Chains A and B, each alone.
Chain A
Amino acid sequence: MLSIESVSKRFRSGNYGVQNVSLNVSGVIGLLGPNGAGKTTLMQMIATITKPTSGRILFDGVDVVAKPDALRRRLGYLPQDFGVYDNLTAFEFLSYFAALKGVGGKERVRELLESVNLHTVANRAVGGFSGGMKQRLGIAQALIGNPDLVIVDEPTAGLDPEERVRFRNLLAEVGSGKLVILSTHVVSDVEAVANEIAIMKGGSLLAMGTPEELLRRAEGSVWAGVMASTELDAMRARLTISSAVRKADGVHLRVVSGDQPFAGAMAAEPTLEDAYLCTMTGRAA
């Protein structure tokens, strides 16, 4: 169990990266929020890379700010924009991190390469890998120590849709029985794997709950309707549009709004994307 208690991070500039965040993590938690919300800073504090200015982070009851090694031995971390050493092969790269994490045996390295489907290119230089392959290698290094807590920061950024789905499935597979913290600003990345979602904005935690709870809070705030495409620009300026799909009869809109946004709009069942927008705009119940 991971407990984050009133954690803040204030930079030397005086700005807060994270402000007074408290949450408990069990299972897979998705951290959602726009760029600059403080997700990465929060994850870096949990990963013991940077210290909070105030607050406590407890892992199985141990304060990891005071005793970071208690967590480091059981942690797998994939940072945002993870790079590789281009001249190493996948096998060498993973063996390097295995050695640093005190994990022995080539067998474990081979096993992990197989689990992320890179075993056929194990002896190829990683500099020639695609973005998706590098990310899979990244998740492999995060899992190599068989960690109890896995932190993955924006793992699907820059991936094509196919790689994104593959990565999501991989994460769902490896995440069973572990604590996983996954940050993203793409709602679809978390809805399939996370059993809890925390939404951050401006360094603060706006909401936290199961996907069902977030959906419930958004009920009555989502509207759907059709309008002429010529009116779309005016609507965009006035409303929070969740989606707009052009069809033969006009533009099909989903709108987050406290009351009926335009004539003909009907109350709709919220999706997680709508629930996220509701929270961000302060319209969730």
Chain B
Amino acid sequence: MIRRIAAIVITDVRIRFRRPSTAVLFLLLSACAYLWIPAPSTGRTLLQINGQRALYNSGAIGMGTASLATIFVGLVGFYVISNALRRDVQTRCGFVLASTGMRSGEYLFGKFAGNLAFLITFIGGFMATSMIMQLVRGEAPVEPFVFIEQYAVLVVPGMVVVSALAILFESIPWLSGRFGDVVYFFVWVMSIGLVASMSEPKSSQPIGWIGILDISGTGYLFQSLRDVLHTNEVSIGASPFDASKGVFVFGGLPVSLRLLLPRIGTCLLAAPLLGIASLFFHRFDPARVRVTEKAKRNWIGRINALAKPFARVMFALTPSAGPASFARFVLLDAMLTISAMPIAFIAIVVFNVVSLVVPIRSLAEGVLPMMFAALAITIAEVACREVRAGTTALVRSAPQLRERFVAWKLAATLLIGGAYFAVAIVRVAIARPSMLVPLVVAIVFVSAAATMLGVVSANPKAFIVTFLLFWYIAMNDKGATPALDYAGLNGAATPFVVAAYAGMAIAFAASAAAFHAFTLRRA
């Protein structure tokens, strides 16, 4: 049994570490750490209290990079590892596995352990680069055990639970697709919100049993910082500081039994999660896998099924004959997107009707953000659909599409965006003209981002996760930071901000085109 589990773990880790995207992700995370822990000469620092910065020792950098790692594990890690079962279904290796004497429990545990081993190795590598960064900053000697301690208490419980959650989501039919990706995102941010609200600075009580649900470690982090630093005025990550106030020494988060017990409890959550997963696991039974495919159409699928006739009518209205013009290809791709996700058709109709009737303020602050989220989910797969369906060669053999692939995809996403926002644009143009340009720029920005991430990653998850994270932060910011008011919904976006988003949209499109040209040269 151990040999079988070990084989699954080693194989999964090998497969993941040999993907170029893993190296890209590692470099990106390391770059984030570099920005998160700036050189003091920039006037910013990792950790400061009332303007006094912490010395860059292993306690401070270990805690700082571990807190970044925990965000990464929760938000990106899940999406990176949640294909362990799907890979075996797609390659049909799962059929072979099912015909061996291996128990389903062994398989699921092996996949869970594979997920965990990958995350531990990945984050372990990140920890090592963080140590190197401490050496570069040169303010204190590196203490590896302090690093390990900080990572162990902050990140490990998150890695354990996320690894189990990925298996659970893959095992439950209606959570194993894009709907599950979106559900996970909201579950994750809500769990952070729940723990954060339970560990409010005003509350003198420790988090208690709710700490078990502190998967991200956020509650533990803030409570420990309060315990050690005796203040609520702490900021972490690239914050400005007053150089005249000198430095203080932070030895890292304390590790006491009272604080550790909930963290251990969090790790134990993996057991019931895997238990539930085993109840749903299909063991590659074709009848159940087929049912799984159908079951993806539960309530959301039923709405999809209801909307299908309308979406088909729309598709049927698309002229099927005529010259192979670029405009026609764009229209066809947009229609194909809606046919593939008929619920988008209902969303477009509903949002346009709502845009017509609600007061302009409600439109800006309530409806438009929802429309952006719906648009993002609808267009996430447009630019990577061919790669995922294996129809790249087919599409490239069509006139113009080989070279103009990025333009085609961008135009199709813009067309879908136009369909979502048609009425809203007209209403904004009439009732609040100052918001028109930011709104249009935001639609272009979202479309360009979806196209770029779809082309580069060949996976809709990259865009969904990145955009929803950005969307969530922007929603909660409520215009406090002009740079986050991407569509001018809160009236905070300055002309410079709008121009910056337009510039980013152009940069995204150009990057996608450059990447596509590069892949064509390699092909």
**A contact residues vs B (CB 8 Å cutoff):** 9, 11-12, 41, 44, 47-51, 69, 72-73, 75, 77-85, 87-88, 92, 95-97, 99-102, 125, 141-142
Contacts and interface: CB of A to CB of B under 8 A. Distances in A.
B14 A97 contact: no
Nearest to B283: A49
A73 B101 contact: yes
B189 interface: no
A80 B99 contact: no
A85 B287 contact: no
Interface string B263-289: 000000000000000000001111110
A99 B91 CA distance: 19
Interface string B1-28: 0011011101100110011000000000
B92 A48 contact: no
Contact of A99 (B7, B14, B18): B7
A85 B92 contact: no
A169 B287 CA distance: 33
B95 A49 contact: yes
Contact of B6 (A12, A48, A99): A99
Given A47-B95, A99-B6, A11 B15 contact: no
5 contacts: A47-B95, A49-B98, A49-B99, A81-B92, A99-B6
A59 B90 CA distance: 30
A88 B91 CA distance: 13
A-B interface, 7 closest residue pairs, ranked by CB to CB distance from nearest: A83-B91, A99-B7, A87-B18, A79-B95, A77-B99, A72-B101, A47-B99
B91 A84 contact: yes
A85 B4 contact: no
Contacts of A73: 101
Given A83-B91, A87-B19, A100 B290 contact: no
Most chain A C-beta atoms within 10 Å of own C-beta, residue among B96, B283, B285, B287: B96
A92 B8 CA distance: 12
Contact of B290 (A11, A51, A84, A95): A11
Interface residues of B, number: 32
Interface in B48-71: none
B19 A85 contact: no
A53 to B, nearest CB: 9
B95 A69 contact: no
B15 A85 contact: yes
A85 B95 contact: no
A108 B390 CA distance: 35
A199 B11 CA distance: 39
A141 B97 CA distance: 11
B86 interface: no
A80 B91 CA distance: 10
Contacts of A101: 100-101
Contacts of B91: 82-85
B87 interface: yes
Nearest to B16: A87
Contact of B287 (A11, A77, A81): A11
Contacts of A125: 18
Nearest to A53: B287
Interface of B: 3-4, 6-8, 10-11, 14-15, 18-19, 87, 90-93, 95-102, 283-288, 290-291
A119 to B, nearest CB: 21
B230 to A, nearest CB: 51
A142 B97 CA distance: 11
B93 A50 contact: no
A141 to B, nearest CB: 6
A141 B92 contact: no
A73 to B, nearest CB: 5
A2 to B, nearest CB: 14
A142 B96 CA distance: 8
Given A72-B99, A85-B15, A88-B14, 10 more contacts: A9-B287, A11-B290, A50-B286, A72-B101, A81-B92, A85-B93, A88-B18, A96-B10, A100-B8, A125-B18
A99 B87 CA distance: 19
A48 B3 CA distance: 23
A49 B4 CA distance: 19
Most chain A C-beta atoms within 10 Å of own C-beta, residue among B11, B18, B97: B11
A178 to B, nearest CB: 15
B90 A75 contact: no
Contacts of B102: 100
A97 B96 contact: yes
Given A50-B285, A50-B286, A100 B4 contact: yes
B15 A77 contact: no
A100 B97 contact: yes
Contacts of A79: 92, 95-96
Nearest to B17: A87
A236 B216 CA distance: 69
A12 B93 CA distance: 24
A100 B95 contact: no
B99 A96 contact: no
Given A73-B101, A87-B14, A92-B14, A99 B3 contact: yes
Most chain A C-beta atoms within 10 Å of own C-beta, residue among B18, B19, B95: B95
A102 B101 contact: yes
B5 to A, nearest CB: 9
A77 B96 contact: yes
Contacts of A69: 101
Contacts of B18: 87-88, 125
A49 B289 CA distance: 11
A9 B15 CA distance: 36
Contacts of A100: 4, 7-8, 97, 100, 102
